[in-house]
């Protein structure tokens, strides 16, 4: 039980085009690194671990086509700046020869599923009884399978626990409405969609007993960069006395980054806010601020969950 959105065979990377979900399941084929970088930048593939896997295969395609590694590296790194998993994957490939690079990229892909299952297991053991609130898509679509935050919910469902996930629609790109709702429907995970502005009322009515989110980069001090709106949920969770969990693979931890203040935050095109499916919803020429991520300070986090287990402010 878990969708796979990334397929590779020598010379061809295929990606389930997440821009077109849930309306159609369309796969795009990438044969060169330029196309992979474009797919990452334009969000055909998204979610930190999935970006890392795609970038790894992009580097393989570059090597096979004789593109200098340094050029491929800078193309891929520039595609999306916040998810550190991308850099992690490229640094892992830096350590292997051209001959071994394809095997190493496949290993990055294959290992991700096991990593996520371990995150799911550790996370499920921590979650209080009751429903959970999440944001963005952190499921199989965002990873090599299973998922991180949504993977924890998937693990709870597999254990037969009576859990229901509330998914924030995740303005402006709507990963929650388009992707999480689709994935949950497909895979039998009970899910209710809410608009982002409904989270406070949901908590006040005690319809959820925890919040769980993924991460694009976790700084050495525990600050978390994740989808815009995550910080609001953390503040709301603290106000309503609900635990706020963050689930991510070790490859999301950036020990070179001392705090959230050092994490580069991607800003995305104004049209993501001023239009809906190409239809204008704001006056022409409207000025916009559209950061794709925000920083949740470590002191709002109840526990950080990885494949190695969980750590809490008390465990240090």
Kindly list the catalytic residues. 216
Alpha helices for 24-100 (secondary structure H): 33-41, 48-64, 69-79, 84-94
Alpha-carbon distance of 149 to 212, in angstroms, equals 6
Instruction: Give the nearer residue to ligand MRU in terms of CB position, either 103 or 195.
Output: 195
* Minimum distance from residue 120 beta carbon to ligand MRU (Å): 12
Instruction: State the Cα angle at 132 between 131 and 134, rounded to 5°.
Output: 155
Half-sphere exposure (Cβ direction) of 137: Cα atoms closer than 13 Å: 30
**Residues whose CB falls within 8 Å of the CB of residue 140, separated by 6 or more in sequence, listed in order:** 2, 3, 4, 5, 146, 147, 150, 151, 183, 187
* Minimum distance from residue 63 beta carbon to ligand MRU (Å): 25
Instruction: Give the nearer residue to ligand MRU in terms of CB position, either 109 or 227.
Output: 227
* Minimum distance from residue 66 beta carbon to ligand MRU (Å): 30
* Minimum distance from residue 69 beta carbon to ligand MRU (Å): 25
* Minimum distance from residue 226 beta carbon to ligand MRU (Å): 5
C-alpha 199, offset from chain centre: 20
> Distance from first CA to last CA of the chain, Å, rounded?
35
Instruction: State the Cα angle at 227 between 225 and 233, rounded to 5°.
Output: 90
**Closest chain position to ligand MRU (CB):** 214
Instruction: Give the nearer residue to ligand MRU in terms of CB position, either 169 or 216.
Output: 216
Alpha helices for 80-198 (secondary structure H): 84-94, 101-126, 149-158, 175, 181-187
Instruction: Give the nearer residue to ligand MRU in terms of CB position, either 115 or 131.
Output: 115
Which residue ranges make up the site for ligand MRU (CB under 6 A)? 46-49, 83, 136, 138, 142-143, 148, 175, 214-216, 226-227, 292
Please identify which residue in the block is written with the tokens 């991180």.
Answer: 148
* Minimum distance from residue 216 beta carbon to ligand MRU (Å): 5
**Residues whose CB falls within 8 Å of the CB of residue 119, separated by 6 or more in sequence, listed in order:** 148, 151, 152, 247, 248, 249, 305, 306, 307
Instruction: Give the nearer residue to ligand MRU in terms of CB position, either 102 or 306.
Output: 306
* Minimum distance from residue 89 beta carbon to ligand MRU (Å): 14
Instruction: Give the nearer residue to ligand MRU in terms of CB position, either 2 or 175.
Output: 175
Instruction: Give the nearer residue to ligand MRU in terms of CB position, either 155 or 226.
Output: 226
Q: Phi then psi for 36, rounded to 5 degrees?
A: -65, -45
Alpha-carbon distance of 294 to 300, in angstroms, equals 13
Nearest to 54 by CA among 83, 97, 96, 26: 83
Alpha-carbon distance of 200 to 166, in angstroms, equals 12
């Amino acid at each position: 039980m878990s969708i796979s959105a990334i397929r590779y065979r020598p010379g061809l990377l295929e990606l389930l085009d997440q821009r077109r979900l849930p309306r159609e399941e369309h796969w795009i084929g990438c044969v060169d690194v330029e196309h992979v970088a474009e797919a990452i930048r334009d969000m055909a593939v998204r979610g930190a671990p999935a970006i890392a896997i795609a970038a790894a295969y992009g580097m393989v395609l570059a090597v096979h086509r004789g593109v200098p590694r340094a050029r491929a590296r800078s193309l891929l790194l520039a595609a999306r700046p916040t998810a550190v998993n991308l850099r992690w994957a490229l640094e892992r490939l830096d350590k292997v020869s051209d001959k071994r690079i394809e095997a190493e990229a496949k290993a990055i892909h294959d290992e991700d599923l096991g990593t996520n299952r371990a995150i799911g297991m550790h996370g499920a053991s921590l979650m209080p009884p009751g429903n959970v609130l999440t944001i963005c898509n952190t499921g199989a679509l965002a990873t090599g399978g299973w998922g991180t935050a949504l993977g924890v919910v998937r693990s709870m469902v597999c254990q037969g626990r009576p859990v229901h996930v509330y998914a924030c629609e995740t303005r402006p790109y709507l990963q929650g409405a388009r992707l999480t709702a689709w994935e949950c429907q497909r895979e039998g995970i009970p899910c209710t969609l809410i608009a982002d502005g409904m989270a406070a009322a949901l908590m006040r009515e005690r319809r959820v007993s925890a919040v769980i989110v993924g991460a694009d980069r976790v700084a050495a001090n525990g600050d978390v960069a994740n989808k815009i709106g995550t910080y609001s949920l953390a503040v709301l969770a603290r106000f309503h006395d609900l635990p706020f969990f963050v689930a991510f693979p070790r490859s999301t931890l950036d020990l070179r980054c001392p705090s959230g203040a050092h994490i580069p935050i991607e800003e995305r095109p104004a049209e993501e806010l001023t239009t809906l499916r190409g239809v204008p919803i704001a006056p022409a020429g409207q000025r916009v601020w559209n950061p794709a991520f925000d920083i949740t300070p470590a002191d709002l986090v109840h526990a950080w969950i990885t494949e190695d287990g969980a750590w809490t402010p008390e465990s240090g």
